[in-house]
Each structure stands twice: as C-alpha cells, then as structure tokens.
Structure 1
C-alpha cells in the first residue's frame, strides 16, 4: 500500500474522490468542444457520438494514468473540422475556448456550493457528527473537484499543441505564420516528455499552475464563505 501511495501523485485513500472529480471535469470539457462545434455547423463530433455527457466516450486510459502518475494528462480529443464553420477563425476560437471555460465554470460552481455548505453551518454539523466520514468525503470531493477544474482551465490555455491555448493562437495568427506553427507541432510530444521526466521543468511549469489553481479556489472560497 505504501508503494502505491508513493507512485500516485495523490494519496491513494483519496483516489476515488479524485477520479470522480476528474471524470466529471474531463467529460464536461470535451462535451463543450463537441457541443459548440456541432452548433456552429461541424457534425464531425456528433457523428462520432461525442456530443454527450457519457464519460465513457471521452475517456482515455493513458491520459488518465499519466495524470495520476505525473500530474497532467488528457481525455480523448474531440475532432473538429473548421472548414465546416461559416466563420472558421472566430468559431474555431470559441470551440477551443469552450473546454477551458467549462472547467472554469465548474470550478466556480463547485466552490460556491462548498462555500455555501460552510457558510450555512452544514459542514460544521457534519463534522461534529459521529462518525464524520460523510463530512470527510464531501470535503475531499469538493477539494479535488474545484482544484482540478481550475487547474484544467489554466493548463489547457498553455499555447502548446495539442492544448486549447495553442489552437486559439493558431486561429488568431496570420495565415503567413501557419506553416511555422505547424512545424512547431512536431516538437510538442518531445516538450511534454521533457516536462514529464525532468523534475526541474515540471517544477517550473506544472507546479505554478497547481499553485495558481489553488489560489483561485481558496480566494473564491474565502470570499463566499466568510
């Protein structure tokens, strides 16, 4: 058991809450991409059954495993054909931004609910109960749910392929730069592997995002619960 605790980024005892939070966050993120792409005239995701909140169609085992082991991962990307949009650039930006924004909204909603439970004394009542396992379960779930959604919001805005931030930059960039950007894409996997296996790079990139996500969560929680 200690061996497993050392492998996983998150405590093994908290793993069920982390997985529940992550499944919801990834599912809504990918659904948002598929929903807006379909709304704007691209049926690619719909034809593949991706305009759904069924988590099984968005699940990627390798991406989930890496998130547990390394601190970042992915769901199954939603295929988007921008040529089907009447305004490819503008609609492409909206479709790309829909995923991170959905995580931001989930983080805000989850934090507001958890802060309200504290503000109205619900959590205090649960903690004083015997046993207080329900309070611990609720606290663990909302901690990971809120933190991971704020983290995914920030992480996906990084301008590296295949993240949403890169797709937004790609749609904003002049046509003359598209060739250079596409050449850069071949290095994306290499860059992520460096971040994954070099602790200093991970400390420089992923850790600040976690800290920023935690600050967003804690700041909003204190503002509402106080």
Structure 2
C-alpha cells in the first residue's frame, strides 16, 4: 500500500492540471459558440490539458487563465455561461467583433476581473445586475452595442471602477449619480434613450423603460 505522503503528492501534482483543464473545457465550450472564419481559434485544441499554450490566452505562474485577448478577431456568435467558470480571469477583451445575444449573468462570477472590453459588437438585452459582484473591476466598456433597459443601480457599489462607457446603445431611464458615477463624463452615456442624471436624494424612476 502506498504511503499517504505519496498519495498526497500525487494529488498535489495533478490538481493544477485538473483546474486548468476545467478552464480549457470552458474555453472550448466558448469556441463552439463562435464562428471563426479566419481561424483565429485554431490553436484551441481540447485534447491538450493545458490551455495556456493556446493563442490569445494568457496564464499566470499557476497555469490559471488570467487574460483572454480576442479583440478585433472577426468572430461572431454568442457568449454562454461557461465564461463564468474562468474564475481567475482578469482581462476579458472581446471588442470590435460581431458577437450578438445577451450578456450572460455568469460573468458576475469573475471576481478577479479588472477590465471588460466588449464594445462595438451586437450585444443586446440588459446589463446584468450581477456585474455588481465584480469588486476589482476598473474598466467596463460596453459602448456601441444594442443594449436596452436601465443602468443597474447595483453598479454604484463598484468603488474601483474608473472607466464606464455605455454610449451608443438603447439604454433608458436615468443615470446613477452615486459611487464612481460621480466622476464619469456625460460622453460615456451619449446616444441612448437616457433621461439624464437622476436627482440627488430622490428614488430613481425609469420612465419609458
């Protein structure tokens, strides 16, 4: 019978591979939703245990996926809940593509996320309230899409948020004025159906939403 120390060593050895494999599975599920006419994702091979060897994927020293760079990659399709499994992701770059459909609420699970750039796509539906869970988020750019509904008031709790751009969408209601929204320029909200900043001290009403 093998000593307990050897058994523990075996599990410690394979655990990083198992965790990265789950991230690889999530990325491959994402790939299956995309149309990729220029073969940008051809290196995303699901038979490889470690997705850190794939192009446009960056990992940390523990082989966790921390960055996904697919900006301006001529891809189309939709996003799915599997993206929320990339628990260590810090940078999600999907800007200037042809991605459509709704933004999955599971993106709110990416607690390490610092930057989310999904501008200039065809995303529709509402901004998920679950984004309020992204306490490390500093940059959120969703401009030039087809988003509707109001700006979630829950986002006013994101104290680290430095850049917020939702211009050129179909958003309605009023603009929050609390938390980081005190410092965002009006250009971040232009070309929507917004009624302007809400009044201090009054409960916001989203007339017309």
Higher helix share: 1
TM-score, reference length from structure 1: 0.31
Higher strand share: 2
TM-score, reference length from structure 2: 0.33
- Choose between structure 1 and 2 for higher RCO, CA contacts under 8 A separated by at least 6 residues: 1
